[in-house]
Amino acid sequence: MRVISGKRKGHPLRAVPGQSTRPTTDKVKESIFNMIGPYFNEGIGLDLFGGSGGLGIEALSRGLDKVIFVDRDHKAIQTIRSNVQSVHFEDQVEIYRNDAEKAIKALLKRDIQFDIIFLDPPYKNQKLKALISILDSNQLIKEDGMIVVEHADDVQLPDQIGRLVKKREESYGLTVISIYQIAENRIKENV
């Protein structure tokens, strides 16, 4: 695993020890950022199932101002902290050990909205439709923001959840990337 592009291009990243997390492959990560960016002038991101922190760190390397990382696994939190320190992004992150739904409740109290939200939960325990609905109904996504969902190929997400419309879906073997935006917004159509 490595940072693919931007300020920290080529920098290696550690994976979470053990089998509890499944890191996003470099190929899938590169495809995600080609679909949503590939670079950003500013913005704030949320990596709700942070794992090793690879997606959020990539977003910072490509120009986001700040990323909030959340994961409930202690080893994942330690790995995110280590990876963030190794790429020198400490001043641009917040890292929390918490369950996704509790983290969302805490974020609601802060009156914060995100440009990009990454959802990459463990494949065996996904409540993606409910999570996306909660993020939308509580307006945690900016009007021109997006939710990037990584899920198993046997998970069928609806074309619309609340105000959010699935703008793009791409398959990479057993992994599928679905991108949601508020209905009137568009994302880049070529990869």
pLDDT tens per residue, range 54-67: 999 999 999 999 99
Domain that holds residue 115: 26-182
* E runs forming strands in 23-74: 44-47, 66-71
Contact yes or no for 116/59 (Cβ under 8 A): yes
Sequence letter at residue 134 = I
Q: Is residue 52 part of a domain?
A: yes
Give pLDDT tens digits for 75-134. 999 999 999 999 999 999 999 999 999 999 999 999 899 999 999 887 665 689 999 999
pLDDT digits (tens, 9 = 90+) for 157-173: 999 999 999 999 999 99
Helices then strands, each counted (H, E), the chain: 5, 8
CATH of the domain at 165: 3.40.50.150
Please tell me the predicted confidence (pLDDT) of residue 25. Answer: 81
8 located within any domain: no
CA 85/CA 102 separation, integer angstroms: 26
Whole-model pTM? Answer: 0.92
| 17 is a domain residue | no
Which pLDDT value is given to residue 186?
Answer: 47
Residue 18 maps to a domain? no
